[in-house]
Amino acid sequence: MDFKDYVKHNQEVIQFVKDAMPGSIDKYVGTLDYASARFNTILLKLSQEPLMADQYKDEIKVCFDAIHSFYNYTKKYVHAPYIMKPLFSLVLYVIGKTSIPKIKLLLEKINN
């Protein structure tokens, strides 16, 4: 996937964050906002250095998949019946603890 494709697919997440109403999903929207911002920073820095981009292309894909997985489960959480919300909340918690930190780690690797 090209950087341009990542940015285009990430626009959906950014629009969701912009349109989110304050309330019970604030922590999920905040996580998506930070993750998207960090991911876009990674793409910007790597677009300036193509040799580094080749080195980190697998990790970029993992980060992209983590953001979209979190985004999809957040949408499911918003539209789920009350009885299903704890299940989606648990899935979001696991993704947030295992996959989302990889974005921050990749950004730190690229900055150093």
Tens digits of residue pLDDT in 21-72? 776 677 888 899 999 999 999 999 998 888 888 889 899 999 999 999 999 9
Split into its structural domains, the chain has a count of: 1
Domain that holds residue 13: 3-111
Average pLDDT, the chain: 89
What is the spatial distance between Cα 80 and Cα 86, in angstroms, rounded to a whole number? 10
- Residue 101's pLDDT is 94
What is the spatial distance between Cα 36 and Cα 26, in angstroms, rounded to a whole number? 15
- Residue 97's pLDDT is 94
